[in-house]
């Protein structure tokens, strides 16, 4: 049971959340008209063994999207912050 | 005024159910006096202020502690969102800086109380319900049978659960089912 | 090497079973091979087998980090079927089914293909329509499929929940009678023995740590126990494709996720077929030993940890009880997980990569086991001829750029939704 | 075997009615089923998996491989119940399993004579059959094999019992209630931590419960327990197994609440599944005794030494008058001494050449005859043990002298103790080999939140156990922030029991050639013998995992609890390696088999998933609607009159809409409030069409794409105010669209001042359609809804029966139509008001099937067409896409294959004949042989009442250009082959005169 420390709601079980996607890929700007940046954003992944930045949605809580650091080998949890406050 | 019909009207039969003896749990249903969401952006503090003042509140509050004023309950549900139970019409506060939304028909309130209420709650939500953790006046947003609800601890053994009306029967059934071994008194809807 | 038969078992038994030879050798590696296959699971071993058998390429090594068959080959729920609807998939999986049907004979190793059929249950008129479309595509491509209504499903599978109490009533099912199960370990061992007999070197306990390059071309692999040169290098490392591709400078449309599997205590025959629930990701069958084998949904987050999370355990068992209420009093014996290459459209890759000398077989999502023979067969063809066979022609890496998404479920580019 | 008159932890004043295979057993409160069986002289309990060998009770705990039975009957029937952990209760009925025709005369036992042919891996080498491209031969053999395999027979009846699930949160979870667990809990509790102590047994005390009653241990337990029970912060659960350690410091427990009763009463659950979130945990799970391996070591009468002692001291069952105890360590001296004191004639066969003088002296004083440097070559007997062949052995466990036959009715065996490190291994990986204790333990790592204590950490004495557990308990409490003092350790005491001292590595007895004599079992239930391991090795299955899979060793219901370490010892010998080099397998949850229903809790039957109900649900049900599932929702499918079937009903309903007026509940549509100054910009980005010019009071149909350019969803959005919009989505995609919108706003588009909130629950919605809809609505609302006052794609506020509502003018059916949005608490009131006022207009409800017929007649796409693989062009919606702005998916939708002019596109089909086509049929050119993937497929079909014929929507390659073509519609799985003509998908009123009227 992954336990996520939601900055709004506190430590909660993963069952309240929905896993979103890789947060290390950046959505191109709306006016980006070349295909490659969109292909990279939508399809291609680093898929790291180890630390991974990823989006989780607190769908059964405060409905905030979070950026969570999590280790894909050990399931260790790192920092968790609101996506809207995430600098990267 | 046309009466607001509870989504649990067909579900609730007052009486005594489950294990015999004194009821460990009292279940009931209350129609909200009115429910409003306000939402803003980076200047939410400022934008929300007139609403808070009108309702007799002073601050946005924390994400854990509910606020009370005369006839008003307030919950800070997100950095830029609050929810109020109030009979007052907040539409006039709607502006470019503050989005006001009427959710008065969107939720119904299931009341859960009694000496075993905390145990029943521990069976249906994945959050610690111990008395030293979930104290009177505190609230939380969580999933109950996969339904997003707001649980407000209103007393040492008393809780109010705000449930989306279309899911209300399922949530009621699950609470009822989980309370059976303790004996349930079901109250007339208020 | 002994030819396996009832007679050979009898003969060895009379000698106290002390005279059996090795099923495959444990050779010293050569300095160089025509083809090096990375990954000693079913797909890698099958590729080596078919390289030797179909293309006469026997100077082949299979390099395995651990013990062969120890990845997803030995962790799956052993289901074999060919009920695919999308062009690009349909004939590939049917090739696999045809290879399965003769695999024990071909390998002289009983991989226990048991065609006890598979039901995909439907729980709404819409699901029945979707099942009909799938069934029709199968039939139009010469693959067996039948559509059953509720009454027929009830007659055949009386132990499912047909009461008013069922949350998602059963409307019917699509059935493939040739589908079934195989003994997963035996598939790896059978291919290993078959490949070894044809001269392939199987090198276990050897981990690939990098590639040997010459002028932008891959000419071999570095391993933790020395370099090995190769004319061509083929990756068959589903679950870890992204990792090995990144060593070659490639970023793949793949994420790695954990998929769990479950087995109960053994019981006398109860479920004589494979049943997929249509209202949740769940399927059930019963092994020859008697354990009910259950499969569920992915743990939704990226993971390389070969162990599963509790929420999916609960979901899977709840699905089991929803489908078949009597399992409630039966006991779960063991659950485990494998790591899957989840591709962006749910379909695999069997293709040359943009890197010269490097070939990729991966992206199998949940469906790798059933594909094992055809995957090896097509990958061998692709490596040997430097061009795909018609049956794997669409399993390219550039199909996303072209827009040719082979999306059986219509879920879009969400790897955990396929 | 007999029950003693004195001693034990049973209550002789409470006899229980317990039976096995019809035989009544002399059971008392405090017994297990196995102790009652032994007290009743039952030695043969079950048959093994492969050879159907007779098996008796082998252990006294969860590791039991043989004594498995059918427990209870009817809908509470439970197969594979381990007698050793089944508490006796009044009315317990058990029967034997896996034997035919009966336990005493089991035909399957013939397998044991054929065992040379059933050697390791024989399945893989045989049954291949002579037929190419056919699996029939194997499947024929398999049918027989399947019947012979399996253990117990499962019931097909639904489980009548309740199960509960609950969460618990604590600072320190202590798993195991023996000396180590009690001590650790005491230390943590005294320090002020919130402690949960769980024990799988019925009572606390662990190994002390196997000591003679009334000893120092009992006083120790009583005093520690009294202190624990006095602490508010300590909670104790017995009959509770911690079966899994999971991520997030979550531990899964099952409490057997009422399994010790005949039936649960007063709505009590049978079992309760606990999900415990513990900041720190202590694993005080003890150890499991290792068997020794020799011929016939599976005979009934051969038993783990610790179990013999448990039956004697806890259950007052003396296993035999003539006992042989064989061991490679000191611990079995306890049982030898206790048996001798109880009057048995005891021979202790010790494989070690030397034994500590004190140990020897104490045992001899109790009357034990000791043979050192000896081992058991073979146990003999038919269905139970009669004698033991004892031989001198050398250091390598090989026979080095003559056989001595000792008559015996019980043989107690001990090969040392294997710490139960399962939970640690589940979470953190493989345990490490500890040469000192000859066992696998958790490696020392103070950072881990789960720490072993006591025998589970290979503690070598009771003092060590207590000291170590105190320290672990105190450390764990401190790590969670508790600041209190753990106080002094409870004093150690002398139990009189021997510990696993001077363990020798001998684990089996071999003849001069290094082979076991007779059938020497390593895995008892699965009948894996030493010779099977040897054969697997010969054949190259040399890794631990290969061995396990090739021989099925460790895969029985005890999951290798007894077999693993002996198998590793053999492999190490064969490979010429040390045990740690051979490695071990990873332990997987659950620790012991877990009842599946327990983990399901209340999520079964109709509560498998929550159900979403429209505010009008009960009206529909009461008015005869046939309901259907639509995702989580229930929707009215059709409202049959008299004995109408679906077809008759929807044709009538759809006809009524076209001729009069109908009403349908569309409350399930997703409704999202889109608010804020940048709302229009937001809509402009998520929809393919433009939104900047939509005026207040108007609404517009929109389509949105996924990021990869395929169509995601469609629906109408109304502008309610300067900064306020309400978006509607399809029923199926509501949650997905909302989460996607939130994601975009909180990640990529943080600069947009927009809030999105679900208002699906706030608003009920009814579509009112038909030529009389305007007149009806004007009558009930009093509003002016004339064509000029409320043109298409406009909305207005009104009142119906005292309720303020919003009326959207839009049509899905192609008729003059409106959608009425009503606050959901007033939905039933307004609906009823409409229907009663509508008598003059003959307003009738219609269901989703009729709605489908109406939309197909109009060529509107819905779920079947929006299948996640279709583009705007495919669906004829390309015209909506703006070329003046970017939107979600606008770049990737231009990829070559998505733009291919040959792609299947939406067409209408007029189907020949009376039967209609089935959705999912394939399309082929009339002169084409129907094979391959076809030219397209039928997505939606209906009988069109308006056209008086069967029609369909379909996706057809190059569809538009083929208008007028006659094509084949083939439904292979239904045996239908029809002809159809390709037409425009707008079958009915293509000009839209009716809806615009």
Between chains, do C325 and D135 touch, taking CB under 8 Å as contact?
A: no
Nearest one of C323, C331, C207 to C266, comparing CA atoms: C331
Give the residue-averaged pLDDT of D932-954: 97
Q: Which two tokens stand for residue B161?
A: 């659960």
Q: Are B105 and D761 a contacting pair at CB < 8 A? A: yes
Which residues of chain B lie closer than 8 angstroms to A63, CB-CB?
78, 148
**CB-CB neighbors (< 8 A) of D248 in chain A:** 1-3, 13-14, 75, 77
When divided into structural domains, chain D yields a total of 7
Contacts of D892 in chain A (CB under 8 A): 35, 38-39, 42
- Considering the domain architecture, whether residues D206 and D186 belong to the same structural domain is answered as yes
CATH number at residue D568: 1.10.10
Helix (H, G, I), strand (E, B) or coil at D305: helix
Does residue D101 have a cis bond before it (omega within 30 degrees)?
yes
pLDDT, tens only, B102-161: 999 999 999 999 999 999 999 999 999 999 999 999 999 999 999 999 999 999 999 999
What is the radius of gyration, based on Cα positions, of chain D?
38
Mean pLDDT of all residues in C376-405: 97
Asked if residue C234 lies in contact with residue C35, where contact means CB atoms within 8 angstroms, the answer is yes
D914/D839 same-domain check = no
The residues of A whose Cβ lies within 8 A of any Cβ of B are 8-10, 12-13, 15-16, 59-64, 82, 84
In this structure, is residue D453 part of a structural domain? yes
CA distance D365 to chain B (A): 56
Shared-domain flag, residues D135 and D192: no
Half-sphere exposure of D412 (CA within 13 A, CB side): 36
Q: In terms of domains, do D717 and D572 share one?
A: no
D23 and D148 housed in the same domain: yes
Residue D865 lies in a domain: no
State the Cα angle at C214 between C212 and C215, rounded to 5°: 140
Quickly state the pLDDT bin for A71 (edges 50, 70, 90): very high
A39: nearest CA in chain C?
C401
Kindly provide the b/e burial profile for residues A19-44, where b requires at least 16 CB atoms within 10 angstroms of the residue's own CB: bbbbbeeebbebeeeeeeebbebbbb
Rounded Cα distance between D532 and D119, Å, is 6
- A87 has a pLDDT exceeding 80: no
* Residues in chain A closer than 8 A to C252 (CB atoms): 44-45, 47
Q: What is the pLDDT of residue C247?
A: 95
CB pairs under 8 A between C and D: 366
Q: For chain A, list the contacting chains (3+ Cβ pairs, <8 Å).
A: B, C, D
Mark whether D645 and D700 lie in a shared domain. Answer: no
Report if residue D500 sits inside a domain: no
Which one of D99, D134, D155 terminates a domain?
D155
Asked if B142 lies within 8 A of A16 by C-beta distance, the reply is: yes
Question: Residue D199 domain-assigned?
Answer: yes
In a domain, D815, yes or no: yes
Taking the CA of residue D783 as centre, how many other CA atoms within 13 Å lie in the half-sphere pointing to its CB?
24
Residues of A in contact with D247 (CB under 8 A): 1-3, 75
Both D187 and D144 in one domain: the answer is no
Mean pLDDT of chain D: 96
Distance of residue D252 Cα from the nearest chain A Cα, in angstroms: 10
Last residue of a domain, one of D391, D415, D439: D415
Tell me the ipTM for this assembly.
0.97
pLDDT for res D990: 94
D661 shares its domain with D773: yes
Confidence at D116, pLDDT banded by 50, 70, 90: confident
Contact A35 D894 (CB under 8 A): yes
Interval C216-229 mean pLDDT: 97
Asked if C154 has any chain D CB less than 8 Å from its own CB, the reply is no
Q: Which chains touch D (3 or more CB pairs under 8 A)?
A: A, B, C
Q: Specify whether D655 is located in the same domain as D797.
A: yes
Q: Please enumerate residues of B whose Cβ is less than 8 A from a Cβ of A.
A: 63-64, 77-79, 126-127, 140-143, 146-148
pLDDT at D270 over 70: yes
Q: Does D891 touch chain A (CB under 8 A)?
A: yes
CATH code at position D140: 3.10.20.440
CA dihedral sign of residues C74, C76, C77, C83: negative
**Predicted structure pTM score:** 0.97
The pLDDT value given to residue C65: 96
**Domain region containing D556:** 520-580
Closest Cα in chain B, distance from residue D785 (Å): 24
What pLDDT does C412 receive?
95
Identify whether the C-beta of residue B183 lies closer than 8 Å to the C-beta of residue B129: no
Q: What angle do CA D114, D116, D117 make, to 5 degrees?
A: 70
Q: Identify whether the C-beta of residue B83 lies closer than 8 Å to the C-beta of residue B36.
A: yes
Q: Give the pair of three-digit tokens for residue C379.
A: 């990958």
Cα–Cα separations (whole angstroms), residue D395 to D90, D373, D399, D697, D772 = 51, 8, 10, 96, 102
| D364-404 pLDDT tens trace | 999 999 999 999 999 999 999 999 999 999 988 999 899 99
Q: Is C70 on the interface with D (CB under 8 A)?
A: yes
Task: Report yes or no on D867 lying in a domain.
Answer: no
Residue D82 and residue D30 in contact, taking contact as beta carbons nearer than 8 Å: no
List pLDDT tens digits, range C75-119.
Answer: 999 999 999 999 999 999 999 999 999 999 999 999 999 999 999
**C315 has a chain A CB within 8 A of its CB:** no
Q: Which residue, of D557, D580, D603, is where some domain finishes?
A: D580
Average pLDDT on C217-230 reads 97
Predicted confidence at residue C1, as pLDDT, reads 65
How sure is the predictor about D113, in pLDDT bands with cuts at 50, 70 and 90? confident
Domains of chain A: 3-25+37-87 (3.30.2270.10)
Q: Is D319 strand, coil or helix?
A: coil
Candidates C242, C251, C301; nearest CB to A70? C301
Please tell me the total number of residues recorded for chain B in this structure: 190
Query: CB distance D142–C112 less than 8 Å?
Result: yes
List the single best residue of B39, B63, B81, B101 to mutate versus A (max A Cβ within 10 A).
B63
Residues of chain A positioned with their CB less than 8 A from the CB of C303? 72, 75
C130 in contact with chain D, both atoms CB, cutoff 8 A:
yes
Yes or no: say if C5 and C201 are a contact pair by the CB < 8 Å rule: no
Which pLDDT score is estimated for D104? Answer: 87
Tell me if D598 is assigned to some domain.
no
Chain B nearest C-alpha distance from A40 (Å): 31
Whether D489 maps to a domain, the answer reads no
CB contact under 8 A, A47 and C400: no
Instruction: Report pLDDT digits (tens) over D124-160.
Output: 999 988 888 999 999 999 999 999 889 999 999 999 9
pLDDT digits (tens, 9 = 90+) for D904-919: 999 999 999 999 999 9
- Kindly report the nearest CA distance between residue D228 and chain B, in angstroms: 20
Residues D779 and D696 reside in one and the same domain: no
pLDDT digits (tens, 9 = 90+) for D752-798: 999 999 999 999 999 999 999 999 999 999 999 999 999 999 999 99
Q: What is the average per-residue pLDDT within D309-313?
A: 98
Neighbouring chains of C at 3+ CB pairs under 8 Å are A, D
pLDDT at A88 over 70: no
Tell whether D44 and D103 lie within a shared domain.
yes
Per-chain mean pLDDT for chain C: 96
| Pair (D69, D127) in one structural domain | yes
Task: Return the residue in C266, C270, C405 with the most chain D beta carbons within 10 A, the one to mutate for interface testing.
Answer: C266
Which of these ranges, D112-126, D429-443, D723-737, has the smallest mean pLDDT?
D112-126
């Amino acid at each position: 049971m992954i336990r996520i420390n939601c900055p709004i709601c506190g430590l909660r079980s993963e069952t309240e959340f929905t896993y979103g996607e890789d947060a290390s890929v950046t959505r191109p700007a709306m006016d980006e008209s070349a295909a490659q940046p969109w292909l990279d954003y939508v399809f291609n992944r680093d898929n790291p063994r180890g630390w991974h930045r990823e989006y989780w949605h607190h769908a059964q809580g405060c409905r905030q999207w979070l950026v969570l650091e999590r280790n894909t080998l050990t399931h260790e949890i790192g920092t968790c912050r609101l996506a809207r406050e995430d600098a990267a | 005024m046309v009466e607001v019909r509870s989504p649990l009207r067909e579900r609730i039969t007052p009486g005594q159910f489950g294990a015999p003896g004194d009821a460990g749990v009292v279940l009931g249903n209350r129609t909200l006096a009115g429910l409003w969401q306000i939402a803003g952006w980076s200047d939410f503090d400022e934008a929300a202020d007139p609403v808070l003042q009108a309702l007799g509140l002073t601050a946005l509050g924390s994400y854990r502690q509910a606020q009370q004023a005369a006839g008003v309950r307030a919950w800070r549900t997100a950095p830029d969102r609050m929810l109020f139970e109030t009979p007052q019409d907040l539409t006039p506060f709607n502006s470019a800086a503050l989005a006001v939304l009427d959710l008065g028909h969107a939720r119904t309130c299931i009341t859960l109380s009694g000496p075993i209420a905390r145990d029943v709650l521990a069976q249906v939500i994945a959050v610690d319900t111990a008395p030293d953790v979930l104290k009177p006046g505190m609230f939380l947003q969580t999933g109950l049978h996969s339904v997003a609800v707001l649980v407000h601890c209103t007393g040492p053994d008393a809780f109010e659960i705000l449930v989306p009306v279309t899911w209300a029967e399922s949530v009621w059934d699950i609470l009822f089912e989980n309370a059976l071994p303790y004996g349930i008194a079901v109250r007339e809807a208020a | 090497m002994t030819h396996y038969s009832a007679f050979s078992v009898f003969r060895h038994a009379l000698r106290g079973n002390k005279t059996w030879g090795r099923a495959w050798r444990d050779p010293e590696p050569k300095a160089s091979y025509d083809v090096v296959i990375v990954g000693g699971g079913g797909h890698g071993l099958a590729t080596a087998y078919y390289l030797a058998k179909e293309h006469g390429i026997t100077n082949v090594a299979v390099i395995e980090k651990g013990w062969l068959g120890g990845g997803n080959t030995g962790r799956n729920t052993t289901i074999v079927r060919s009920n695919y609807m999308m062009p690009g998939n349909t004939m590939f999986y049917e090739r696999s089914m045809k290879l399965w049907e003769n695999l024990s004979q071909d390998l002289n190793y009983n991989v226990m293909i048991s065609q006890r059929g598979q039901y995909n249950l439907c729980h709404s008129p819409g699901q029945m329509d979707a099942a009909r479309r799938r069934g029709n595509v199968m039939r139009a491509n010469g693959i067996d499929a039948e559509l059953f209504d509720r009454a027929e499903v009830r007659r055949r599978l009386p132990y499912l929940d047909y009461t008013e109490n069922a949350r998602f009533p059963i409307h019917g099912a699509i059935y493939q009678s040739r589908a079934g199960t195989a003994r997963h370990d035996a598939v790896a061992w059978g291919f290993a023995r078959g490949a070894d007999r044809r001269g392939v070197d199987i090198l276990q306990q050897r981990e690939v740590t990098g590639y040997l390059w010459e002028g932008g071309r891959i000419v071999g692999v570095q391993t933790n126990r020395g370099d090995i040169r190769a004319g061509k290098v083929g990756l068959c490392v589903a679950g870890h494709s992204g990792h090995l591709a990144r060593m070659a400078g490639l970023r793949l449309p793949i994420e790695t996720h954990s998929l769990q599997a479950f087995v109960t205590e053994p019981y006398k025959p109860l479920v004589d077929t494979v049943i997929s629930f249509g209202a949740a990701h769940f399927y059930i069958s019963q092994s020859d030993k008697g354990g009910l084998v259950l499969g569920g949904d992915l743990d939704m987050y990226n993971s390389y940890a070969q162990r599963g999370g509790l929420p999916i355990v609960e979901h899977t068992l709840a699905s089991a009880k929803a489908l078949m209420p009597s399992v409630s009093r039966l006991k779960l014996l063991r659950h485990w997980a494998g790591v899957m290459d989840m591709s962006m459209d749910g379909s695999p890759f069997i293709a040359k990569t943009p890197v010269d000398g490097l070939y990729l077989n991966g992206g199998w999502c949940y469906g790798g086991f059933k594909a094992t023979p055809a995957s090896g067969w097509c990958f061998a063809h692709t490596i040997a001829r430097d061009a795909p066979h018609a049956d794997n022609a669409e399993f390219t890496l550039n199909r996303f750029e072209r827009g040719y998404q082979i999306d059986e479920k219509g879920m879009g580019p969400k790897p955990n939704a396929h | 075997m007999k029950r003693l008159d004195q001693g034990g932890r049973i209550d002789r004043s409470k006899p229980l009615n317990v039976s096995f295979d019809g035989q009544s057993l002399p059971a008392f409160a405090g017994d297990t089923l196995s102790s009652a069986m032994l007290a009743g002289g039952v030695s043969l309990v079950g048959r093994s998996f492969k050879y159907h060998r007779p098996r008796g009770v082998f252990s006294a705990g969860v590791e039991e491989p043989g004594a498995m039975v059918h427990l209870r009957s009817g809908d509470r029937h439970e197969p594979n119940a381990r007698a050793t952990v089944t508490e006796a209760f009044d009315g317990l009925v058990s029967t034997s399993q896996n034997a035919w025709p009966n336990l005493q005369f089991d035909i399957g036992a013939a397998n044991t004579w054929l065992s040379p042919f059933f050697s390791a891996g024989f399945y893989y080498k045989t049954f291949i059959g002579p037929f190419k491209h056919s699996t029939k031969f194997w499947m024929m053999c398999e049918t027989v094999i399947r019947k012979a395999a399996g253990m117990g027979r499962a019931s097909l009846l639904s489980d009548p019992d309740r199960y509960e699930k609950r969460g618990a949160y604590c600072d320190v979870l202590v798993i195991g209630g023996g000396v180590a667990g009690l001590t650790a809990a005491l230390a943590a509790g005294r320090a002020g931590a919130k402690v949960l102590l769980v024990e799988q047994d019925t009572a606390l005390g662990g190994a002390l419960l196997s000591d003679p009653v009334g000893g120092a241990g009992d006083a120790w337990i009583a005093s520690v327990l009294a202190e624990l029970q006095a602490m508010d912060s300590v909670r104790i659960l017995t009959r509770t197994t911690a079966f899994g350690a999971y991520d997030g410091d979550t531990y899964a427990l099952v409490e057997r609440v009422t399994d010790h009763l005949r039936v649960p009463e007063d709505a009590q659950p049978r079992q309760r599944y606990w999900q415990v979130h513990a900041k720190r945990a202590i694993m005080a799970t003890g150890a499991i005794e290792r068997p020794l391996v020799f011929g016939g070591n599976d005979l009934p009468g051969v038993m783990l030494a610790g179990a013999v002692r448990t039956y004697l001291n806890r259950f007052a069952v003396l296993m035999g008058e003539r006992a042989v105890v064989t061991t490679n360590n000191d611990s079995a001296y306890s049982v030898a001494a206790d048996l001798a004191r109880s009057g048995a004639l005891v021979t202790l066969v010790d494989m070690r050449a030397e034994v500590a003088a004190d140990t020897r002296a104490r045992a001899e004083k109790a009357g034990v005859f000791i043979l050192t440097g000896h081992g058991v070559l073979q146990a003999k007997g038919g269905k139970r043990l009669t004698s033991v062949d004892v031989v001198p052995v050398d250091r390598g466990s090989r026979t080095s002298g003559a056989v001595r036959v000792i008559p015996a009715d019980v043989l107690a065996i001990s090969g040392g103790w294997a710490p139960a490190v399962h939970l640690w291994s589940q979470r953190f990986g493989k345990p490490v080999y500890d040469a000192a204790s000859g066992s696998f333990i958790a490696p020392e790592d103070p950072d881990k939140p789960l720490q072993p204590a006591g025998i589970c950490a290979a503690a070598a004495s009771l003092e060590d156990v207590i000291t170590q557990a105190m320290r672990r308990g105190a450390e764990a409490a401190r790590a969670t922030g508790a600041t209190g003092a753990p106080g002094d350790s409870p004093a150690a005491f002398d139990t009189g029991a021997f510990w696993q001292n001077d363990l020798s590595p001998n684990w089996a007895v071999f003849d001069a050639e290094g082979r076991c004599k007779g059938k020497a079992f390593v895995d008892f239930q699965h009948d894996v013998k030493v010779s099977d391991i040897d054969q697997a090795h010969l054949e190259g299955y040399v890794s631990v995992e290969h061995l396990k899979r090739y021989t099925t060793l460790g895969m029985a219901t005890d999951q290798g609890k007894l077999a693993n370490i002996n198998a590793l010892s053999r492999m190490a010998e064969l490979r010429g390696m040390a045990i740690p080099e051979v490695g071990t397998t990873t332990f997987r949850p659950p620790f012991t088999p877990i009842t599946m229903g327990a983990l399901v809790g209340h999520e079964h039957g109709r509560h498998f998933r929550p159900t979403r109900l429209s505010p009008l649900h009960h009206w529909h049900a009461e008015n005869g609607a046939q309901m259907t599932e639509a995702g989580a929702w229930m929707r009215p499918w059709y409202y049959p009159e008299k004995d109408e079937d679906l077809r008759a009903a929807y044709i009538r309903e759809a006809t009524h809409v076209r001729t009069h007026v109908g009403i349908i509940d569309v409350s399930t549509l997703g409704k999202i409030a889109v608010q804020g100054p940048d709302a229009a910009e937001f809509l402009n980005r998520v929809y393919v069409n433009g939104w900047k010019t939509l005026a207040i009071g108007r609404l517009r149909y929109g389509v949105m794409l996924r990021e990869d350019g395929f169509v995601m969803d469609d629906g109408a959005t109304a502008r309610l105010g300067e900064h306020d919009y309400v978006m509607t989505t399809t029923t199926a995609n509501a949650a997905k669209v909302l989460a996607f919108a939130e994601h975009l706003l909180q990640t990529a588009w943080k600069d947009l001042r927009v809030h999105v909130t679900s208002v699906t629950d706030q608003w009920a919605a009814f579509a009112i359609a038909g030529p009389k809809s305007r007149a009806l609505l004007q009558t009930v609302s009093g509003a002016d809804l004339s064509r000029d006052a409320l043109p298409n794609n406009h909305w207005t506020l009104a009142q119906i029966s005292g309720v303020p509502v919003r009326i959207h003018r839009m049509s899905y059916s192609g008729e003059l139509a409106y959608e009425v949005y009503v606050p959901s608490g007033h939905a039933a009131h307004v609906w009823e008001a409409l229907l009663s006022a509508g008598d003059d207009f003959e307003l009738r409800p219609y269901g989703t099937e009729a709605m489908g017929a109406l939309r197909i007649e109009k060529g509107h796409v819905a779920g079947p067409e929006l299948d996640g693989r279709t583009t705007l062009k495919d669906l004829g919606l390309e015209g909506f896409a703006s070329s003046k702005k970017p939107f979600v998916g606008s770049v990737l939708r231009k990829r070559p294959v998505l733009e291919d002019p040959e792609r299947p596109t939406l067409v209408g089909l007029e189907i020949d004949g009376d039967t209609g086509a089935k959705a999912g049929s394939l399309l082929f050119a009339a002169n084409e042989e129907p094979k391959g993937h076809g030219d397209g497929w039928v997505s939606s079909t209906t009988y069109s009442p308006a056209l008086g014929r069967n029609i369909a929507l379909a996706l057809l390659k190059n569809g538009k250009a083929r208008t007028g073509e006659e094509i084949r519609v083939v439904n292979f799985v239904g045996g239908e082959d029809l002809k159809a003509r390709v037409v425009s998908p707008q079958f009915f009123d293509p000009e839209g005169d009716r809806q615009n009227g």
